[in-house]
Amino acid sequence: MAKSSIKIRAKVKEGEAKVKCLISHPMETGLRKDKKTGKLIPAKFIQEVVCEHSGATVMNAQWNGTISKNPFLSFAFTGAKSGDMIKISWVDNTGKSDSTEAKMK
Amino acid sequence: MKKIATALSVMLLAATPFAAQATPDDDLKAFRSYFTKKFPEVPANDFINGVYALDAGAREQWEAFEEFPSYEIAIDNGEEKFGKKFANGKGYADCFPNYKKGIKQNYPYFDTDSGKVITLEGAINKCRTDNGEKKLKWAKGEITEIGAYLASLSRDQKINVKVPNDAKAIAAYNRGKKHFWAKRGQLNMSCADCHYYYSGSKIRADLLSPAYGQPSGFPVYRNKWAGMGTLHRRYGGCNKQVRAKPFKAQSDEYKALEYFHTYMSNGLELNGPSQRK
């Protein structure tokens, strides 16, 4: 299996889960030109990021080309406990996707 | 009376620590004591954290970054690329047999056989060309990933750059020293103006970091670049900011500067790769 493009670190403190994740993705806007050929570099950016916790979606982000390369995302939600699994997945505009699961500390 | 005269001469000596005849070791002692006196509240080994050793607010932000740093991607990629074999079946590990123990603290070193300063990036590319591979680009990209991986293994090692008693080594050291103290560019500023005399002061909205400890964290992930860069990439940026024409990364000039600059941080721990604004 190829290495996942998502790295997650999540901690639960007093019922509140703090999730941090780092996604490696080029996040091309589609507006940049290749310096050598002068042609536009095709757009390739993440459109949706979803975080699931025990079957329920706890975070859903709609992104576009304005987000930087290798984006870092941090958010918090309540109702989780230590040891729970969370799943984060993304879909980009070319239809590619990736997801990964992690245990919360 | 004699006592006063001795005291005076000692003071005079202290006031001109960078006289031409000063040995590298004298330079280092004077350099270190200048910064430790200038910033008495900074713990000795905290100079490796640059401006974050001086400003609590900036440090807080930086520590939040360091909890989950963007350079982790670079370390992972670097590890993967480091492990890949070249076409001839050899790999980086053959060039850097001690890499797991940490090797970055010894770079840059002076190679008495070739009479040149060898930087870590130079050694990485030499390893490639010796094995029939193409050179990597010097300032960013893959070379910083491999550098980041090697730096991560060398963390907490103490910088240990040596200037051997060799005319060419001293010449390279002096060339770097001259670059550091010499004025350049339309703005007529030297490295020392910002990072020695005015270190800790504001330049517009930013603090100037002390030169002591700067090389520790490289290669760095710089938010401004949204990517990794080597020390020489930063040198180029510095030179441009004073409106001087930058030298090429890994040119003899920058290698000499890195040699002097890193020597001046001898004894400090390595903290690379790290994140900078």
Domain positions in chain B: 18-277
Q: Which helix (H) or strand (E) holds A86?
A: strand A85-92
Least confident of B1-5, B19-23, B45-49, B235-239: B1-5
B127 catalytic per annotation = no
Band (pLDDT 50/70/90 cuts) for residue B35 is very high
pLDDT for the residue numbered B180: 96
- pLDDT given for residue B192 in this prediction: 96
- pLDDT of residue B203 exceeding 50, the answer is yes
| DSSP annotation of A48 | E
pLDDT at B4: 54
Residues B159-166: what's their mean pLDDT? 93
Chain A hits for B72, CB-CB cut-off 8 Å, are 7, 22
A24 close to B (CB below 8 A): yes
Q: Is B73 on the interface with A (CB under 8 A)?
A: yes
**Residues from chain A contacting residue B226 (CB–CB below 8 Å):** 68-70
The answer on pLDDT for B213 being more than 60 is yes
Nearest Cα residue in chain A from B225: A69
Do A7 and B72 make contact, defined as CB atoms within 8 angstroms? Answer: yes
CB contacts, 8 Å: B81 with chain A:
none
Query: Homologous superfamily of B18-277 in CATH?
Result: Cytochrome c-like domain (1.10.760.10)
Q: What is the pLDDT of residues A22-63, one digit of tens each?
A: 999 999 999 999 989 999 999 999 999 999 998 899 999 999
Identify which of B76, B80, B226 has the shortest CB distance to residue A68: B226
Between chains, do A3 and B76 touch, taking CB under 8 Å as contact? yes
Beta strand segments in chain B, E: 109-111, 116-118, 202-203, 206-207, 220-222, 227-229, 274-276
Neighbours of A85 (CB within 10 A): 13
Partners of B68 on chain A (C-beta within 8 Å) are 7, 9, 20, 22, 72, 74
pLDDT digits (tens, 9 = 90+) for B251-270: 999 999 999 999 999 999 99
Does A22 lie at the interface with B, CB-CB under 8 angstroms?
yes
Judging by beta carbons within 10 Å of its beta carbon (0-12, 13-18, 19+), is residue B254 exposed, middle or buried?
Answer: buried
Q: Is A20 on the interface with B (CB under 8 A)?
A: yes
pLDDT of residue A2: 57
Q: Is A70 on the interface with B (CB under 8 A)?
A: yes
pLDDT of residue B21: 65
Q: Quick one: pLDDT at residue B9?
A: 52
CB contact under 8 A, A24 and B73: yes
Alpha-carbon torsion (B227, B154, B213, B121), positive or negative = negative
Task: Please list every residue in chain B whose beta carbon sits closer than 8 Å to the beta carbon of residue A20.
Answer: 67-68
Q: Give the mean pLDDT of B130-159.
A: 94
Q: What is the DSSP string of B21-55?
A: T--HHHHHHHHHHHHHHH-TTS-GGGGGGGGGGT-
Q: Say yes or no for a CB contact (<8 Å) between B226 and A22.
A: no
pLDDT tens profile A60-90: 999 999 998 889 999 999 988 888 899 999 9
Q: Inform me whether the pLDDT recorded for B3 exceeds 80.
A: no
Domain ranges (residues) in chain A: 6-103
Please write the tens of the pLDDT for every residue from B43-102: 989 999 999 999 999 999 999 888 888 899 999 999 999 999 999 999 999 999 999 999
What is the overall mean pLDDT for chain B? 90
Nearest CA in chain B to A74: B68
Report pLDDT for A98: 93
Q: What is the DSSP string of B203-247?
A: ETTEEPPPSTTGGGG-SEEETTTTEEE-HHHHHHHHHHHTT-PPP
Q: Which residues contact A37 (CB under 8 A, 6 or more apart)?
A: none
Query: Hey, of A11, A23, A24, A98, which one would you mutate to test binding to chain B, going by the most B CBs within 10 A of its CB?
Result: A24
Side chain identity at residue B115, one-letter code: G
CATH architecture of A6-103: Sandwich (2.60)
The pLDDT confidence band at residue B17, using thresholds 50, 70 and 90, is very low
Chain B residues 39-68 within an 8 A CB cutoff of chain A: 67-68
> From the list A3, A22, A74, which residue is nearest B72 (CB)?
A22
Q: Is A24 within 8 Å of B70 when comparing Cβ atoms?
A: no
